[in-house]
Amino acid sequence: MMSTTTVNISATQVKELRDKTGAPMMDCKHALTEAKGDLEQAVVLLRKKGISVAGKKASRVTKEGAVASYIHAGGKIGVLVEVNCESDFVARTDDFKELVHDIAMHIAASDPKFVRKEDVTPEAFEREKDIYRAQAAATGKPLQVVEKIVEGKMSKFYEEVCLLEQPFIRDQTISIGQLVATKIGKLGENIAVRRFARFKVGEVGATVAFTTSNPEDGGEAAAPVAT
């Protein structure tokens, strides 16, 4: 039996993969060829490529971009988010605009408190750890069991509170960080979420988080104001 080759990867398969991932046509064709026509494996290959490209471009300056808003739940929740890229050309593309919109929508739904893991202050980390320890201790379980419970909860802490670590609400198989990496691979520029604010009617304060992850900022992370 003849093995799967470039010749027998159909245009329909390529289109299906492109619709699913947003990757360029040739990248989809190459991924399908490498995956021997397996669509899900091709998706994995494209995501790995996007993350690899993102890593190589992570140090590049992002001074362009866009600010977008998203209003949810009949005007009860509002989000502002700034996402940066390297050029105004990319900032004006539909792909970049779609990414910014998706991130704003995700923030409205998932209410993250920080942008990146590096933005979580030691004080915030320890505060949450103390809360988990008190909750576990209230169950009356032995100390060693309490510590294991706390350890398990803290392993999920970043995923719960950091935007880039959270599973994307429209595709739980990838994180927001992986979503961004995919766009970096497709658009060929570094992309970074700079800051966001989330407001909810009836709440006393708002969640405001920002990061100074660009090289020109000196690489110092700024803690959010979360109330």
- pLDDT per residue as tens digits for the range 62-105: 789 999 999 987 899 999 999 999 999 999 999 999 999 999 99
Taking the C-alpha atoms of residue 144 and residue 39, their distance in angstroms, rounded to an integer, is 45
How many CA atoms lie within 13 Å of 225's alpha carbon, on the beta-carbon side? 6
- Which residue, among 174, 211, 220, 188, has the nearest Cα to 83 in the 3D structure? 211
Per cent of the chain over pLDDT 70 is 83
Q: Which two tokens stand for residue 133?
A: 């320890």
Q: Which of 164, 74, 67, 61 is closest to 117 using CA atoms?
A: 164
What residue ranges define each of the domains in the chain, with the CATH number in brackets?
A: 1-57 (1.10.8.10), 60-120+162-227 (3.30.479.20), 122-155 (no CATH)
Mean pLDDT over residues 17-38, rounded?
Answer: 80
In the prediction, which pLDDT does 89 show? 95
**CA-to-CA distance for 192 and 84, rounded, in angstroms?**
5
Q: According to the model, what pLDDT value does residue 166 have? A: 95
Task: Provide the sign of the torsion angle of the four alpha carbons 74, 210, 164, 112, taken in this order.
Answer: negative
Region 11-26: mean pLDDT is 77
Provide the pLDDT confidence category of residue 28 given band limits of 50, 70 and 90. confident
Alpha-carbon separation of residue 99 from 55, 70, 106, 126, 139 (angstroms): 18, 13, 10, 33, 43
- Average pLDDT score over residue span 131-159: 86
106: which 2 tokens?
A: 């995700």
- Which pLDDT belongs to residue 110? 95
Q: Return mean pLDDT, the chain.
A: 83
Looking at residue 226, its pLDDT comes to 47
What is residue 15's predicted lDDT score, i.e. its pLDDT?
Answer: 83
Radius of gyration of the chain from Cα atoms? 20
Place of tokens 């470039």: 6
Model pTM?
0.69
- Cβ atoms of 102 and 22 within 8 Å: the answer is no
Token pair in block for residue 194: 């700079």
Encode pLDDT of 128-137 as tens digits. Answer: 889 988 988 8
Can you list the alpha helix ranges (DSSP code H) found in the chain? 11-21, 25-34, 39-57, 88-91, 94-110, 122-137, 143-155, 157-161, 176-187
Residues 6+ apart with CB under 8 A from 197: 79, 80, 81, 206, 207, 208, 209
**Residue predicted with more confidence, 177 or 50:** 177
Contact 187, 207 (CB under 8 A): no
Among 25-34, 99-108, 182-191, 196-205, name the one with the lowest average pLDDT. Answer: 25-34
| Tokens standing for residue 165 | 């670590």
Question: Is 80 exceeded by the pLDDT of residue 219?
Answer: no
Residues constituting the chain: 227
Q: What pLDDT, in 10s, does the model give residues 34-45?
A: 888 888 888 888
